[in-house]
C-alpha cells in the first residue's frame, strides 16, 4: 500500500472531481485528516477529494485502487475512535457535497438521503410529515448519516429505539473495487439471502463507503416528561431505573453524569445554576413518553410519585421534573453539553458496555485501575446508563499531560476488566485506530479471521481505511 499521493494520481483525481473537488492545501489536509479522537498517531492526509455524485465516488475509488493509494472515508468527523484519521498519506474521501434528503415516504415510514446529510436534517425532514428519526445524540447537527451507519451510532434513546442498525432499511455503497451496490432497497421484510447492507453498519468504512441510505422513521410520542435526579452512586441510579420500569413508565432515555461532569458544564457556562438544591456524587436524567396527549398528565404524575417514593427510600437524594418544554430542554442540555465541556482538557476516552448486574464491581475496580496506572488523572464518567454504556474519561491534570505509557497500561487493564465482566470495549464509538490492539479481548481469532476475509471480498486490495479496526499485527490490507 502506497501512503503518499504522487502528481499523476492527483491529476487523475482532479479529472474526476474537478479543481473544486480536490485539495492539497495544508489546512484542508489537517482539517479533513482527523476526527475528534485523541491519540498518538500523526495526521498526514495526502489529499482531500469531495465528489458530488455516486459515479464520481466510484471513479475516485477506481483511481486509488489502481495505484494502491489508501482511502479514508470522511463524514462529519465527530468520531472518537480515530476511524476517520489519515495518518499515512491516504486520500480523504469526504461526502460533504453529497448532501440532502431525496424523499420521505410517510406511508412506508422511510426517508432516503445522501450520505452527507446530517442526522438533524433527516429528523427535520421526517417531522414535516409527522414522523421522526429516533437516533439522537448531541452531535446530530454535524454528524452525517454515512458516518453514523459506519459506526452504528447509538445515542441517548437506545433503551427505547435501538441503535442505527435497527433503522437502516437499505444503502447504496461503493466497494473497494469501485462497484456500486444497492442493498436492502428499503424493505422491512426481505428474506432473499444475506442482508449485505448490515455488514456495512458498524464496519467503520473498512468495506467501502456508504453514499446513500434509506432509513426507517417512527411516530413521535405525543409528549415526554424529563427529570434530573441526584444519587449517592450508580447502583442507586440502577435501582431507580428498575423501579421506573416496574411501575409501567415507558422510558425513552436514562442517562448519567457525575458531579465532575456537571461542574465542567457549569464552569463552561460561567457558573450557571445547578439543577438541584442538594449536591450529589452522580446524577441521572430520565425521559418517559406518553403515546397520547390524554395520557401526558397521568404519565407525569406517575413519574413524580415514583421519584418521591425513591427519595423517601433514600434511593435518590433530590430530583426535579420539568414542567415546560423549555425546562426539559434545559435539563437535557446539561447532559448533552458534557462532552464539549470536557473537550478542552483533551480527555482520554473509553466507551464501554457493562452488564448492569456487574456495574458496581466495574466501578469499584475502575478506581483501583486509575490509582495504579494514572494516579494524576481525573476520572469523569457519563453515558447511557439504561443500556449499560459508560463513557469513561480520564483527564490530565490542569496544565499537564498523561504519559503515553501510563495510558497504555490503563487501557490494557481496563479492557481486560471489561472482558472479564462480560462487557464490550466499544459500545458505540467503534474501534478505529484507538482500540485495534485490544480487539482480540472481545473477538476470537476465528471471528477476526472471518472479518478479515469479509473485508477481502468487498475490498480485495485493502484500499478502504487501511490499518483501522484490525489488530496491528493483522494484515488487513
Residue 115 in contact with residue 173, Cβ under 8 Å? no
> Distance between CA atoms of 308 and 319, rounded to whole angstroms?
8
For CATH 3.30.70.2190, the residue range(s) in the chain are 223-339
pLDDT band at 474 (very low <50, low <70, confident <90, very high): very low
Q: How many C-beta atoms surround the C-beta of residue 18 within 10 A?
A: 13
pLDDT over threshold 80, residue 476: no
User: Among candidates 8, 9, 398, 414, which has minimal Cα distance to 406?
Assistant: 414
pLDDT at 4: 60
Half-sphere exposure of 449 (CA within 13 A, CB side): 3
Residue 477 predicted with pLDDT over 60: no
pLDDT of 109-127, one tens digit each?
A: 999 999 999 999 999 999 9
Q: Is the pLDDT of residue 311 over 70?
A: yes
The residue assigned the cell 415514583 is 306
What architecture does CATH give domain 346-429? 2-Layer Sandwich (3.30)
Q: What are 389's strand-pairing partners? A: 353, 384
Q: What's residue 473's pLDDT?
A: 67
Q: What is the dotted CATH code of the domain comprising 101-216? A: 3.30.465.10
Contact present, 154 and 427 (Cβ < 8 Å) = yes
Could you tell me where in the chain the CATH 3.30.70.2740 domains are found?
Answer: 346-429
- Say which CATH architecture domain 223-339 belongs to: 2-Layer Sandwich (3.30)
Contact 225, 290 (CB under 8 A): yes
Q: Is 12 left (phi over 0), alpha (psi -120 to 50) or beta?
A: alpha
Query: Residue 187 has what pLDDT?
Result: 87
Rounded to whole angstroms, the Cα distance separating 464 from 468 reads 9
Ranges for all domains in the chain classified under CATH 3.30.465.10: 101-216
Give me the mean pLDDT over the 191-204 stretch. Answer: 96
Shortest CA distance to 38 belongs to which of 348, 342, 376, 393?
Answer: 348
**Contact yes or no for 453/412 (Cβ under 8 A):** no
Task: Give residue-wise pLDDT tens across range 223-257.
Answer: 999 999 999 999 999 999 999 999 999 999 999 99
Q: Give the global pTM.
A: 0.93
Amino acid at each position: 500500500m502506497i501512503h503518499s499521493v504522487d502528481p499523476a494520481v492527483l491529476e487523475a483525481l482532479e479529472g474526476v472531481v474537478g479543481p473544486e473537488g480536490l485539495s492539497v492545501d495544508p489546512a484542508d489536509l489537517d482539517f479533513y485528516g482527523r476526527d475528534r479522537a485523541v491519540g498518538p498517531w500523526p495526521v498526514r492526509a495526502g489529499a482531500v477529494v469531495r465528489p458530488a455524485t455516486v459515479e464520481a465516488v466510484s471513479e475516485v475509488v477506481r483511481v486509488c485502487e489502481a495505484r494502491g493509494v489508501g482511502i479514508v472515508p470522511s463524514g462529519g468527523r465527530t468520531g472518537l475512535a480515530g476511524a476517520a484519521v489519515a495518518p499515512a498519506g491516504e486520500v480523504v474521501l469526504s461526502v460533504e457535497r453529497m448532501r440532502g434528503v431525496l424523499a420521505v415516504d410517510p406511508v412506508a415510514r422511510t426517508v432516503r438521503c445522501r450520505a452527507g446529510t446530517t442526522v438533524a436534517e433527516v429528523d427535520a425532514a421526517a417531522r414535516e410529515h409527522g414522523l421522526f428519526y429516533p437516533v439522537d445524540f448531541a452531535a446530530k447537527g454535524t454528524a452525517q448519516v454515512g458516518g453514523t451507519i459506519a459506526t452504528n451510532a447509538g445515542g441517548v434513546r437506545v433503551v427505547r429505539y435501538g441503535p442505527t442498525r435497527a433503522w437502516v432499511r437499505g444503502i447504496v455503497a461503493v466497494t473497494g473495487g469501485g462497484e456500486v451496490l444497492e442493498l436492502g432497497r428499503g424493505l422491512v421484510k426481505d428474506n432473499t439471502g444475506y442482508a449485505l447492507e448490515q455488514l456495512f453498519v458498524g464496519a467503520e468504512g473498512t468495506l467501502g463507503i456508504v453514499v446513500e441510505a434509506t432509513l426507517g422513521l417512527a411516530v413521535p410520542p405525543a409528549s415526554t416528561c424529563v427529570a434530573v435526579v441526584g444519587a449517592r452512586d450508580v447502583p442507586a441510579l440502577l435501582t431507580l431505573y428498575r423501579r421506573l420500569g416496574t411501575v409501567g413508565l415507558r422510558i425513552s432515555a436514562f442517562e448519567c453524569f457525575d458531579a465532575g461532569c456537571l461542574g465542567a458544564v457549569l464552569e463552561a457556562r460561567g457558573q450557571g445554576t445547578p439543577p438541584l438544591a442538594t449536591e450529589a456524587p452522580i446524577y441521572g436524567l430520565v425521559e418517559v413518553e406518553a403515546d397520547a396527549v390524554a395520557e401526558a398528565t397521568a404519565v407525569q404524575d406517575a413519574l413524580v410519585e415514583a421519584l418521591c417514593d425513591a427519595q423517601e427510600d433514600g434511593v435518590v437524594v433530590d430530583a426535579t421534573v420539568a414542567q415546560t418544554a423549555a425546562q426539559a430542554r434545559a435539563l437535557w442540555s446539561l447532559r448533552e453539553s458534557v462532552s464539549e465541556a470536557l473537550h478542552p482538557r483533551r480527555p482520554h476516552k473509553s466507551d464501554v458496555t457493562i452488564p448492569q448486574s456487574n456495574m458496581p464491581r466495574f466501578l469499584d475496580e475502575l478506581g483501583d485501575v486509575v490509582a495504579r496506572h494514572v494516579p494524576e488523572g481525573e476520572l469523569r464518567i457519563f453515558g447511557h446508563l439504561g443500556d449499560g454504556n459508560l463513557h469513561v474519561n480520564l483527564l490530565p491534570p490542569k496544565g499537564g499531560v498523561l504519559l503515553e505509557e501510563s495510558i497504555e497500561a490503563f487501557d490494557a487493564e481496563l479492557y481486560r476488566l471489561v472482558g472479564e465482566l462480560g462487557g464490550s470495549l466499544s459500545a458505540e464509538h467503534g474501534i478505529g485506530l484507538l482500540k485495534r490492539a485490544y480487539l482480540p479481548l472481545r473477538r476470537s481469532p476465528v471471528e477476526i479471521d472471518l472479518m478479515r476475509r469479509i473485508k477481502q471480498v468487498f475490498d480485495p486490495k485493502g484500499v478502504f481505511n487501511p490499518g483501522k479496526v484490525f489488530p496491528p499485527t493483522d494484515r488487513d490490507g
